[in-house]
């Protein structure tokens, strides 16, 4: 029960920190975060690690959905949308002096 309570309190703390992040416009240094993490009891460190893993998975899922990173390309998808002029391979008059 104590582990669950600590986990809930930490999750609430992190969520408030994230919500207030834009208002505070200050960033807690990585050193300070690591120092605070090391001072937590072992059970809470495990909960924090699990929470950050969950955040990472959700972020990766969001990025993949937002940018369609898992979408495969279809061959011929631009067929008919690009037109090459008939005289494409003929010499360009402006470059006659250089040939």
The percentage of residues in the chain with a pLDDT greater than 70, rounded to a whole number, is: 68
Asked whether residue 52 is assigned to any structural domain, the reply reads yes
Find the range with the poorest average confidence among 43-52, 53-62, 76-85, 88-97. 53-62
The pTM of the full predicted model, rounded to 2 decimals, is 0.39
Asked whether residue 25 is assigned to any structural domain, the reply reads yes
Chain segment 1-15, per-residue pLDDT in tens? 455 556 666 777 777
- Domain that residue 36 falls in: 2-67
Asked whether residue 76 is assigned to any structural domain, the reply reads no
The string of DSSP letters for the chain reads -HHHHHHHHHHHHHHHHHHHHHHH-----HHHHHHHHHHS-HHHHHHHHHHHHHHHHHHHHHHHHHHTTTPPP-TTTTTTT----TTTTSPPGGGGGG-
Asked whether residue 98 is assigned to any structural domain, the reply reads no
Domain count within the chain = 1
């Amino acid at each position: 029960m104590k582990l669950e309570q600590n986990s809930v309190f930490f999750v609430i703390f992190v969520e408030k920190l994230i919500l207030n992040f834009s208002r505070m416009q200050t960033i807690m240094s990585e050193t300070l975060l690591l120092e605070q993490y090391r001072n937590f009891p072992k059970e809470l460190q495990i909960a924090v690690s699990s929470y950050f893993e969950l955040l990472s998975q959700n972020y990766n899922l969001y990025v993949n959905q937002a940018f369609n990173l898992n979408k495969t390309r279809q061959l011929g998808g631009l067929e008919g949308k690009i037109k090459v002029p008939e005289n494409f391979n003929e010499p360009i008059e402006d470059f006659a002096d250089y040939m």
